[in-house]
């Protein structure tokens, strides 16, 4: 099998890249190790930055997004039983975010790819990436019980942190930067309308809590828990009681409870791999970087990567110049490190570390009070949350 761009992974990054390349007249093949049902139902991110939503619309994946997505013009910060709203449009010149689950993004992009895009092979396990330092890299993969080879001009690893693409970058040219956090998120899906019309980020002495949503009838909520927690250690009543404690306010606000349909624990980490290119291999999304979910950056960073790469590949096709391909890694990393910094700031401002002392707690409250009392500080948060340009 032969194509111009071999894409490993049919998450949002790989699927969107295939769509952008299709629109630019560049052929590709997408290899995905899981089946279609798994890809369309694995729960991940749910917040789309302004730029991400605009890119999806331009790629033809905006119909359901505009019909079912929930535009949010701000978030609420809670601390010491107080509430402060950060007004995104008023602080950023009109930008907002949209609540639209990654599962739905994947469904939309898969439908487009199968309708008029290049080959999308499910249950096609990539086994090795070879020859990336030459002009004809290839991906060995297994599909339908047989091994095959995909020959490409370029290979793009969109196969996540545990994928094989990054392994093709020699250790001697790789640099990794990592921070593991001593806490995790216990997340739930519940069949109950959200208790607030925007996301609520709560700093509490017992730990962080987040009130989010997936739709007008489905709530998504999180609790900070110790790293290594088993979700089954918490009963449904214990989860709701703890959410009540951490989200409580002095103005009579109440938390709606309902049946919990899913529980899971998400580890918290920051990770960056440099460079994001080696020869004719390019890394995108979680294959190259991880952010703690506090800043809602993971999916959006992946979109920024593939937009930058698609632009570079289209430029080479049109002009013959590899100039933008040569600067891909540096261009992405500038944006990624800003997102890493923003996510780290949000995480350390809102979570209670196991070894935190009263001084640490006072600093957190001082940071929150600064945001509540300063338009400039609120604008810095709003600009970071709604997205860094690419």
By annotation, the residues acting in catalysis are: 72, 201, 293, 297, 385
- Give φ, ψ of 357 to 5 degrees: -115, 175
The strand pairing partners of 303, in sequence order, are none
Residues sharing a CB contact under 8 Å with residue 225, sequence separation 6 or more, in sequence order: 183, 184, 185, 186, 207, 234, 265
Pull the structure tokens for residue 344: 């780290």
| Rounded CA separation 348/342 (Å) | 10
**What is each CA distance from 209 to 31, 204, 293, in whole angstroms?**
37, 8, 12
**46: three-class secondary structure by DSSP:** coil
The strand pairing partners of 187, in sequence order, are 222, 264
| Rounded CA separation 250/261 (Å) | 30
* Beta strands 281-283 and 277-278, pairing class: antiparallel
Residues sharing a CB contact under 8 Å with residue 162, sequence separation 6 or more, in sequence order: none
| Rounded CA separation 306/12 (Å) | 10
């Amino acid at each position: 099998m032969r194509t111009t761009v071999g894409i490993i992974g049919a998450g949002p990054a790989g699927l969107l890249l295939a769509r952008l390349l299709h629109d630019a007249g560049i052929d590709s093949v997408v290899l995905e190790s899981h089946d279609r049902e798994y890809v369309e139902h694995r729960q991940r991110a749910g917040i789309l930055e302004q730029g991400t939503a605009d890119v999806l619309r331009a790629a033809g994946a905006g119909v359901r997004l505009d019909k079912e997505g929930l535009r949010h013009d701000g978030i609420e910060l809670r601390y010491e039983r107080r509430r402060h709203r950060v007004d995104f449009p008023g602080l950023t010149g009109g930008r907002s975010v949209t609540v639209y689950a990654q599962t739905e993004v994947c469904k939309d992009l898969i439908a487009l790819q199968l309708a008029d895009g290049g080959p999308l092979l499910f249950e096609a396990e990539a086994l090795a990436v070879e020859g990336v330092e030459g002009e004809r890299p290839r991906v060995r993969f297994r599909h339908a019980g047989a091994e095959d080879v995909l020959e490409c001009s370029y290979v793009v690893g969109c196969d996540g942190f545990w994928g094989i693409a990054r392994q093709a970058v020699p250790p001697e040219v790789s640099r990794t930067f990592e921070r593991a956090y001593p806490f995790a998120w216990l997340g739930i899906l519940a069949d109950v309308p959200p208790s607030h019309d925007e996301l609520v980020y709560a700093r509490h002495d017992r730990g962080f809590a987040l009130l989010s949503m997936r739709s007008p009838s489905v709530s998504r909520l999180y609790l900070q828990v110790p790293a290594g927690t088993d979700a089954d250690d918490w009963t449904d009543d214990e989860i709701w009681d703890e959410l009540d404690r951490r989200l409580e306010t002095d103005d009579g606000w109440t938390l709606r409870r309902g049946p919990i349909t899913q529980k899971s624990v998400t580890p918290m980490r920051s990770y960056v791999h440099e460079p994001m290119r080696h020869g004719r291999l390019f890394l995108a999304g979680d294959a190259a970087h991880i952010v703690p979910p506090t800043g809602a950056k993971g999916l959006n960073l992946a979109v920024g990567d593939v937009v930058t790469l698609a632009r570079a590949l289209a430029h080479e096709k049109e002009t013959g110049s590899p100039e933008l391909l040569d600067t891909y890694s540096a261009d992405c990393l500038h944006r990624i490190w800003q997102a890493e910094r923003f996510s780290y700031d949000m995480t350390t401002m809102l979570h209670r570390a196991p070894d935190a002392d009263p001084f640490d707690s006072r600093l957190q409250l001082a940071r929150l009070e600064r945001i509540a009392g300063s338009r400039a500080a609120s604008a810095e948060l709003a600009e970071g949350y709604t997205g860094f340009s690419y």
